[in-house]
């Protein structure tokens, strides 16, 4: 992977930041994209201080004009993109019947439409070159019903099928499109769901019978780097004959379904 160029969305923290670091460790040049400019620049400063070739590109993935402009800027400044990782994501918790219009629209704007806008912009540039690899970070909730997560689960399910359909269409151009579906991972998004200091154990690891959550058979949360390692594998030549695949990284929480 040395010398390749990647664009990673949601790069200011969590899984996105871990993906940037994992790619940097393999001497990939990374365009780090996030809407939170201050946090993004702080993250990139930390990564560059560690010796990685990372540059910050603030952008809103829900705005197609912004997305097209930033992809143009990335290729002009860094060179033709080899990899794309769609890691930007948001979570709004609510019972399905109590979701507001804004909850639903915002969740889909980032988790689904953002994946569409960025994937379209990057893949249209990859097609004439005849190579490329894309990974969308989805969720095990895309295939497992969760209480108070209807908008999130539905948006991730849509992003999952979009990525698979895209992969089917662009396989003839040598472009691979895969997914990684994390479960409970040590990120601010997960901790926002906890009600107290025991949230990791009570809500995620042990499970909640009343919410139909079985817990995590491996008895631990994933770390962002666990998910990042799966992403990097699917981008790499080790996965050169894998496309339209959904790799679940959840410690067994979805029971392999």
Neighbours of 198 (CB within 10 A): 10
Q: Which of 83, 152, 173, 212 is catalytic?
A: 152
As a whole number of Å, the end-to-end CA separation of the chain is: 32
Q: Give the span between the Cα atoms of 225 and 221, in whole angstroms.
A: 12
Q: Are 88 and 9 in contact (CB under 8 A)?
A: yes
Strands (E), 80-165: 83-86, 132-137
* Known active-site residue 152: yes
Residue 173 has which token pair? 């151009």
Alpha-carbon Rg for the chain in angstroms: 17
Residues known to be catalytic: 152
């Amino acid at each position: 992977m040395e010398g390749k160029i990647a664009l990673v969305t949601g790069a200011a923290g969590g899984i996105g930041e871990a993906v940037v670091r994992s790619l940097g460790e393999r001497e990939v040049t990374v365009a780090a994209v996030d809407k939170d400019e201050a946090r993004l620049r702080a993250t990139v400063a930390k990564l560059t201080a560690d010796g990685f070739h990372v540059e910050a590109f603030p952008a809103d993935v829900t705005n197609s004009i912004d997305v097209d402009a930033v992809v143009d800027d990335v290729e002009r400044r860094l060179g033709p993109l080899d990899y794309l990782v769609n890691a930007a994501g948001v979570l709004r918790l609510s019972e399905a019947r109590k979701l507001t219009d804004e909850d639903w629209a915002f969740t889909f704007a980032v988790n689904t439409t953002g994946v569409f806008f960025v994937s379209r912009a990057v893949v249209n540039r990859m097609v004439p070159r005849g190579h490329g690899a894309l990974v969308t970070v989805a969720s095990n909730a895309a295939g497992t019903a969760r209480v108070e997560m209807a908008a999130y689960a539905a948006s991730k399910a849509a992003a999952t099928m979009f990525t698979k359909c895209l992969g089917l269409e662009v396989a003839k151009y040598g472009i691979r499109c895969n997914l990684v579906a994390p479960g409970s991972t040590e990120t601010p998004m997960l901790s926002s769901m906890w009600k107290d200091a025991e949230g990791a154990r009570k809500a995620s690891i042990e499970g909640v019978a009343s919410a139909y959550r079985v817990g995590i058979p491996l008895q631990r949360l994933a770390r962002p780097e666990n998910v990042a390692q799966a992403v990097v594998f699917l981008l790499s030549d080790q996965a050169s004959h894998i496309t339209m695949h959904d790799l679940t990284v959840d410690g067994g929480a979805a029971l392999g379904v």
